[in-house]
A and B are shown apart, each in its own frame.
Chain A
Amino acid sequence: MRWSRLASLVVVALAVVLAGALAGRAQRNATLPQDVQSLIEAKGLTPDQVRAAIQTYVPPGKYDEYLMFSSAGQGGQVLVFGVPSMRLLRVIGVFAPEPWQGYGVGSEETETILNWRTKDSRLAWGDTHHPALSETNGEYDGKWLFINDKAGSRIAVIDLRDFATKQIVQNPNAVSNHGAVVSPNTEYVLEVTQYAGPFPFRYVPLTQENYNRHFRGLATFWKFDRGKGRIDVSKSFQIELPPYWQDLADFGKLESYGWAFWNSFNSERAIGGTLEKKPPVEVGASARDMDYLHIVNWKRAEELVAQGKYTVVNGMKVIRLKDAVEAGILYLAPEPKSPHGLDVAPRGDYIVVGGKLDPNATVYSFRKIQEAIRNKAFSGRDDYGIPILKFDAVVAAQVKLGLGPLHTMFDDKGNAYTSLFLDSAVAKWTLGPPYNPPERAWKLVQKLPVQYNIGHLTAVEGDTTKPGGKYLVALNKWSVDQYRNVGPLLPQNFQLVDISGEEMKLLSNTPIGIGEPHLAQIVRMDRIKSWEVYPAGTNPLTMRPDPNAVKAGQQRVVRQGRTVHVYMTAMRSHYIPDRVRVKRGDTVIFHITNIERTKDAIHGFAIDRHNVNLSLEPGKTETVVLRAERPGVYPFYCTEFCSALHLEMMGYLEIEP
């Protein structure tokens, strides 16, 4: 009896506490403190805006959930943002010198990466368009990032252990490219030419006849060696293509693994001539109603290369167009004219093409493509003998979205999101089976206005086999009235959109004032495992111990004829040695190691009037090769505020006459 009474007493007490807690909670939720209310009223915020502000706010010391890697366009760099805060976390120098990182301003390692040691022409900038994170089984693995330079037909490899560029390869046969995409296990990085050029590259008078005969596009499959973390040019290959302007590409995945797809425009082969009163390219290249989707069996192309069925052109293995057609590697399918984006759905079953000049997203079925190839359902061949699959035989659906559909990403609920350039909107629409039942398939759900002229968009892991949903970023080309005017060169406008619910909601604006980003990718933060400090004495180029790294006590100056090696250490707040004396005409080689082990104990190393600045993160060893030509006494100093005695961290380089 006593026990049951005690038990009921406990139950009653618990109920009272619970009710009290709930009441307290309800109380807290019911009203905001007066000052917060006043803030909201003073700014005239709507409940949606308040919600958006809270949703995107990351308190000091807390982290974002996602990282976004964005191209910086003409800046030649990669930008790294936190999402949803949209705070810029890093700039990664890629194709252009980036002095803060000591990239391309005196360090032997970075100038080697920029090919300034081997090439005659020092390309001082690049036009980065499309970043591509490395993948394993069609998901981002957070190890590497690739990005193209459209202006120099180059591809760069960025190591995400230190968020730094490690390799740049230049295409010896291609002029201009558009984008980089990786195969589902990062076997290859695919670079497709944008504008056709004479093949092999040389001078050919630009006439229509010559253009048709001698100009070609190229698809380059750069072989990526994960062990070395480098593109292996010797195992890479190219496929010769007709002189249409090949555009964005994507790799097949899961059921379409082994295949790749890309768009083209200017199948008219227009070459302009505006001064001679011929139609400009924009008109000439838009004459026909259809261009060609390229459908490529890269697994078979790989076999062909293994069998030696290639020609070597400028050191690259090239599968000739005729051989590609004969081996069943290359097919075309009509696509509405001048498309832009091409994106493979998460299961690899559909290929979505953004119409650009056509209001539809045209969806191709991989299964239908395979059937059409098997049944030889061709509507003919193009001038170069490539079979053209019948449009109706390969298309699964056309979804009318609006004007200027460009680029598509996917979420985790069977929806697709397509940017509409002319409408300045993002269209949300449903994929067909198996993503959605037939009655819900291929339907426009919502159009969200964005400000303005959206180019690409990116959703969380939205181009992988497992899209994350939740957020989407619209990469708008024009900002017009979105910011206070800062002169005629207006910032680009990134807009964060919540896609977690049925209805898309605009969350925030982020101005980009250092270039025109094209594409970005958003990855879950936990996939990135970057280093806090370098292992002691690491060469940032090889990511291995540098043979010239020194530890405390090993610092020295060694003269070998006219070459002077300076084995230097940097730590708070001094260099050892801090006085270096050489003679005019000497070659001075500084091997500098930051011997600190503490996170963020970064030093710089700049030499007055010598165009040198290094970023020496803890553990890093870098090299400066300097010709001592102008006698004088030059201070060198630490450029990264390191300590209370940072200004005292300096030394003198004496150059005797």
Chain B
Amino acid sequence: MRSPKVRTGRGPVGMPVLAAVLLAASLVLPYWQLTLYAPQYPGGLRVFVYLTHVAGDAQEVTTLNHYIGMKPLEEAAPVERAVAVPVVLVFGALAVLSGLLHSPWRWLLRLPLVLFPLGFFADLAAWLWYYGHSMDPAAPIRLEPFMPAILGRGVIAQFRTVASFHVGFYLALAASLVALYDLWRTRVQQERVRVRVAGPAEVAAR
């Protein structure tokens, strides 16, 4: 008789570990990209938003933004950026731990990892809104407060902008889906095990 565990070829934490690794890897990858096009920037300007910092042409965009009184990109989300590494690691660890536990802990502990991409999106949206609504009224060029396009196309002065998620976000999303799938899979397995141990008729009788 083989145990069901051996049959699946994976330990109970195989998938949660994969999810945690995916999320951890996303720490070094950009989550969101904003590309700005204007005639004098033939290749466009690219801002990459990571969990821990902004990169690419962020400095140039900040320089340009000062004309409309927008705060420096590098200063956005200071708390989020400071705690990003421990948070991601803890979320991952909780997810792994959850693989060893039974409901409802199994669900609860992996919830942060599952909801992480959503959280990122909400936080990004909040910061974009804040940046578009906290412009210095003394700036050389005054614009009406606005909500920058979080996804897709937008226009700011002579710039056309294109915003999209980047590979880091997709990794986090994959982590989330893997964790969810694992929950579903183990549920089904447990069901099968129960069926095998008790016999279908008995299960049906319950």
A, B assembled together: yes
Query: Which residues of A line the B interface, CB within 8 A?
Result: 61, 571-572, 596-598, 601, 643-645, 648
**Would A597 and B59 count as touching, CB distance under 8 A?**
yes
Give Cα distance in the complex from A598 to B41, angstroms.
Answer: 10
Question: B67 contacts the other chain (Cβ, under 8 Å)?
Answer: yes
Ordered by A's residue number, 20 sampled pairs between the chains whose C-beta atoms are within 8 Å are A61-B42, A572-B63, A572-B64, A572-B66, A572-B67, A596-B59, A596-B60, A597-B59, A597-B60, A598-B57, A598-B59, A598-B60, A598-B63, A601-B60, A601-B63, A643-B67, A644-B67, A645-B67, A645-B140, A648-B140
Residue of B nearest to A571 (CB): B63
Chain B residues, CB < 8 A from A61: 42
Residue in chain B with minimal CB distance to A572 = B63
Contacts of B42-76 to chain A: CB distance below 8 A: 42, 57, 59-60, 63-64, 66-67
Q: A291–B140 Cα gap in the complex (Å)?
A: 73
Which residue of B42, B63, B67 is within 8 Å of A596 (Cβ)?
A: B63
Main secondary structure of the interface of A (DSSP, over half): loop
How many B residues touch the partner, as a band? under 10
Complex alpha-carbon distance, A572 and B67, angstroms = 9
List B contacts of A645 (CB < 8 A).
67, 140
State the Cβ distance, B57 to closest chain A Cβ, in Å.
7
Closest residue of B by beta carbon distance from A598: B60
Known: A571-B63, A572-B67, A644-B67. 9 other contacts (CB 8 A): A61-B42, A572-B64, A596-B59, A596-B60, A596-B63, A598-B59, A598-B60, A645-B140, A648-B140
Measured CB to CB, the nearest residue on chain B to A597 is B59
A571 to B63 alpha-carbon distance, docked (Å): 8
B64 contacts across to A, CB distance below 8 A? 572
Interchain nearest-CB distance for B43 vs A (Å): 10
For the complex, what is the distance from the CA of A38 to the CA of B57, rounded to whole Å? Answer: 48
Q: From residue A598, how far is it (CB to closest CB) to chain B in Å?
A: 5
Least Cβ distance of B39 to chain A in Å?
A: 12
Cα distance A601–B60 when bound, in Å? 10
Interface string of B137-169 (1 = CB under 8 A from A): 000100000000000000000000000000000
Instruction: Kindly list chain B residues whose C-beta atoms are within 8 Å of the C-beta of A644.
Output: 67
For A601, list chain B residues within 8 Å (CB): 60, 63
In the assembled complex, which residues on chain A have CB atoms less than 8 Å from the CB atom of B140? 645, 648
Which B residues from 148 to 202 make CB contacts under 8 A with A?
none
CB B172 to nearest CB in A, in angstroms, measures 29
Contacts of A597 in B (CB 8 A): 59-60
> In the complex, which residue of chain B has the Cβ closest to the Cβ of A574?
B66
Considering the chains assembled together, what is the distance between the CA atoms of A648 and B66 in angstroms? 14
Cα A648 to Cα B42 in complex, Å, equals 26
User: Which A residues touch B57, using CB under 8 A?
Assistant: 598
**B contacts, CB < 8 Å to A:** 42, 57, 59-60, 63-64, 66-67, 140
Min Cβ gap B37→A in Å is 15
A17 and B30 CA atoms in complex are apart in Å by: 46
Q: Kindly list chain A residues whose C-beta atoms are within 8 Å of the C-beta of B42.
A: 61
Q: Chain B residues near A598 (CB, 8 Å)? A: 57, 59-60, 63
Set of chain B residues within 8 Å of A572, measured between Cβ atoms: 63-64, 66-67
Q: Within 8 Å CB of B63, what residues of A?
A: 571-572, 596, 598, 601
* Distance A397 CA – B57 CA, assembled complex (angstroms): 62
- Which A residues lie within 8 Å of B66 (CB)? 572
Closest CB pairs A-B (n = 4): A598-B60, A597-B59, A572-B63, A645-B140
User: Bound complex: CA of A196 vs CA of B140, how far in Å?
Assistant: 65
Closest residue on chain B to residue A61 by CB atoms: B42
Give the shortest distance, in Å, between A617 (CB) and chain B (any CB).
Answer: 15
Residues of the A chain whose Cβ atoms lie less than 8 Å from the Cβ of B59: 596-598
B108 → chain A, closest Cβ, in Å?
Answer: 45
Q: How far is the CA of A61 from the CA of B42 in the complex (A)?
A: 10
Q: How far is the CB of B177 from chain A (nearest CB, A)?
A: 38
Q: From residue B75, how far is it (CB to closest CB) to chain A in Å?
A: 12
In the assembled complex, the CB of A324 is this many whole angstroms from the nearest CB of chain B, namely 58
Smallest beta-carbon distance A343→chain B, Å: 42
Residue of B nearest to A644 (CB): B67
Closest chain A residue to B72, Cβ basis: A552
Q: In the bound complex, how far is the Cα of B127 from the Cα of A223, in angstroms?
A: 59
Chain A residues positioned under 8 Å from B60 (CB to CB): 596-598, 601
Considering the chains assembled together, what is the distance between the CA atoms of A360 and B60 in angstroms? 61
Nearest B residue (CB) for A596: B63
Complex CA–CA separation, A598 to B61 (angstroms): 10
Cα A601 to Cα B40 in complex, Å, equals 11
Query: Once the chains are docked, how many angstroms separate the CA of A596 from the CA of B63?
Result: 8
Could you tell me the distance between the alpha carbons of A571 and B67 in the complex, rounded to whole angstroms? 12
CB distance from A339 to the nearest CB of B (A): 51
Please, which residue of chain A has its CB at the minimum distance from the CB of B42?
Answer: A61
Q: How far in angstroms is the closest Cβ of chain A from B142?
A: 14
Q: Which of B57, B63, B66 has the most CB of A within 10 A?
A: B63
* Distance, CA A571 to CA B60, complexed state (A): 10
Point out the residues of chain B lying under 8 angstroms from A643, CB to CB. Answer: 67
Instruction: Give Cα A598 to B42, complex, Å.
Output: 12
Q: How far is the CA of A630 from the CA of B197 in the complex (A)?
A: 101
**A597–B42 CA distance with the chains assembled, in angstroms:** 16
Instruction: Give chain B residues whose Cβ lies under 8 Å from the Cβ of A596.
Output: 59-60, 63
Residue of A nearest to B57 (CB): A598
Least Cβ–Cβ distance between B40 and chain A, in angstroms: 8
* Docked complex Cα distance between A601 and B63 (Å): 11
CB distance from B5 to the nearest CB of A (A): 52
State the CA gap A458–B33 with chains docked (Å).
49
Q: Which residue of A lies closest to B43 (CB)?
A: A599
Looking at B42, B60, B64, which has the most chain A CB atoms within 10 Å of its CB? B60
Kindly state the separation between the CA atoms of A61 and B57 in the bound complex, as whole angstroms. Answer: 22
CB distance from B55 to the nearest CB of A (A): 12
Q: Once the chains are docked, how many angstroms separate the CA of A596 from the CA of B42?
A: 18
- Inter-chain CA distance A643–B157, complex, in Å, is 14
Residue of A nearest to B141 (CB): A644
User: With A and B bound together, what is the CA distance between A643 and B67 in angstroms?
Assistant: 10
Give bound CA distance, A572 to B140, whole Å: 12
Q: How far is the CB of A571 from chain B (nearest CB, A)?
A: 6
Interchain nearest-CB distance for B60 vs A (Å): 5
Residue of A nearest to B64 (CB): A572
Chain A residue with minimal CB distance to B58?
A597
Bound Cα distance from A639 to B169, whole angstroms: 44
C-alpha gap A571/B59 in the complex (Å): 11
- Docked CA distance A648–B140 (Å): 10
What's the minimum C-beta distance from A425 to chain B, rounded to whole angstroms?
44
Please measure, in the bound complex, the distance between the C-alpha atom of A372 and the C-alpha atom of B13, giving whole angstroms. Answer: 87
Could you tell me the distance between the alpha carbons of A572 and B59 in the complex, rounded to whole angstroms?
12
Whole-angstrom CA separation of A572 from B57 in the bound complex = 15
Distance between Cα atoms of A61 and B39 in the complex (Å): 13
